[in-house]
Chain A
Amino acid sequence: MHITAQDVKKLSNLSQIDLSLDEQKSLQKNLESILEYALRVRQIAHESTRVQQNVQACRLREDEPAAFDARDIMAQAPEKIENFFVVPKII
């Protein structure tokens, strides 16, 4: 399998992470080797009969609001106005 510079750009967009040029090159190489290795799952996945799901059903709790102090949540906001997080404009 082959990872291109375009793939890296697309993943940078999907992951919302900016990269330096060096990182782009390095990630391209390492992505390829890791994904190549991961493809091994194809070798036995076809034998699956899915007889059992290894899933613990999520237990639900009562719909009761938990009290918390908004000041704790807002305390570390990089920028805020009252209880609003301030962010740059969305274009």
Chain B
Amino acid sequence: MKISAYISVCELIELVRKKEITSDQVLDLVLSGFSEHDKQLGSALEIFDKNTILQASQSEGPLAGVPILIKDNIAQKGRKLTCASKILEDFVSPYDATVIEKLKVAGALLVGRANMDEFAMGSSNEHSAYFKCANPWDIERVPGGSSGGSIAAVAAGLVPCALGSDTGGSVRLPASWCNVVGLKPTYGRVSRYGLVAYGSSLDQVSVATRTVLDNATVFSVIAGEDSRDATSVPLGQVDYTAGLDGQLPRGFKLGIIENMLYAEGMRPDVRARIEDAIKEFEKLGATTVKIQIPELDYSLAAYSIISRAEAASNLARFDGVRYGHRAAKSPALEAMYRKSRGEGFGYEQKLRSFVGNYVLSAGYADEYYHNAQKVREMIAQAVEDAFKTVDVLLTPVHAAPAFKFGTCPDPLAMDLIDVYTVFVNMAHVPALAVPCGFTDEELPTGFQLVGPKLSEAMLYKAAYAYEQRTPWHTMHPKQFV
């Protein structure tokens, strides 16, 4: 049976359920798609062989027959887990992450490991230690990061769904740069057991799909309390597809953060697409409320400190002792640590470890880390206060569309790309990145809907209503049609 490369998760579930196509046939199509297109795209570090994919998952379940690409910082038992780093080049995971267990029980077909920025540190996917990943809409440009491979594969029609991780925008940014829907859940809503930690108070496994309904379908499977994650929210399974009727909730109030939308550096065409989106919400019956949250102007500075402090701690385990790369011929233990990490880590791991250790060190911790924690609390409180007057916030995801490879001048400039996304992780709230059209040079752009904690159902409802009135989810990159 021939099916479109851009078939949705829900359409595929239905075809498999009606036995019009088998998982075996789905995999034949997916594997040939990667074989034909991925040399050019670079979205996957590895695609698994058909038999092991089929054997790994249940044959029936709510996601039976749905192929999903998994970011290579999420543990899949018996598969390599490299985090796109040389330091874990030959490491094979001895266990499944909780989200992987759930997907296997649901019958999903886990087809491979997605390319990413090394250890999820980056905003362009240029920092993979293996090879670059391109944006399917313009292969001279980056897809965004750090979950670039996951998103690129979805955008190019190689898979209908991928898992990524989002610590400061790592799914939402590439999603908006590639015309994909990306959810960063409420902190704790999805188990982090088996997700290689970058910023432990910020990370969340995230879902990337081409449509809102698909996203809600897969998220409904992976969300839920997990006793193996002490930060897991005590809430069980929820069907997030219920209530997607194309309508907004009655009396829906949409908050527009003026100091974000009208910030210096925001490209006029990106702003214009967001303003168009706001008009669509108003036609749907939303009341828009313009607000200012000045604390958010400091979110990136605070995030830079906290994320690097946590990264420095989380990277300390990679020392060549128990697993991973060990430098040859070290005369003593400390020399072995230093050489192994020097040889195995990329530049960003070194830079972030140094920043992290600096801001935690004696004489500097008060000025940097403790101040950053205070600012984090102020941001979280300000965001919570905003939800007393509005239901959902609509904000930009980025100031400009995807850039050409090699044109971001330095690490600080790369960090500044995340200026609109990091506050969400800092405040532990959910955010859904939704496509909203194309820039003057015909590159995708999007907005994000940000809600109170555990408001994913409302985010999906609002996003679905917008999506059904707009054509973006039906549009696909010419090169990969």
Contacts and interface: CB of A to CB of B under 8 A. Distances in A.
Interface of A: 7-8, 11-12, 14-19, 23, 26-27, 30-31, 33-35, 37-45, 47-48, 50-54, 56, 58-61, 72-73, 75-79, 85, 87-91
Nearest to B379: A54
Given A34-B411, A48-B378, A77-B322, A54 B357 contact: no
Given A18-B342, A47-B378, 13 more contacts: A12-B338, A15-B350, A17-B354, A27-B350, A33-B411, A48-B374, A54-B377, A56-B187, A59-B230, A61-B230, A77-B323, A79-B326, A88-B332
B68 to A, nearest CB: 25
Interface of B: 90-92, 94-95, 187-188, 227, 230-231, 233-234, 295, 298, 300-302, 304-305, 312, 316, 319-324, 326, 330-339, 341-343, 345, 347, 350-351, 353-355, 357-359, 361, 367-368, 371-372, 374-378, 380-381, 410-412, 415, 427-428
Contacts of B336: 87-88
A50 B381 CA distance: 10
B410 A37 contact: no
20 contacts: A15-B312, A15-B357, A17-B338, A30-B351, A31-B354, A33-B412, A34-B355, A35-B355, A35-B358, A35-B359, A39-B368, A48-B377, A50-B377, A52-B381, A54-B427, A56-B233, A56-B428, A58-B230, A78-B321, A88-B333
Contacts of B337: 16
Contact of B375 (A7, A44, A77, A78): A44
Most chain B CB neighbours (cut-off 10 Å) among A7, A38, A42, A61: A38
Nearest to B376: A54
A91 B454 CA distance: 52
Contact of B341 (A18, A33, A54, A76): A18
Contacts of B302: 41
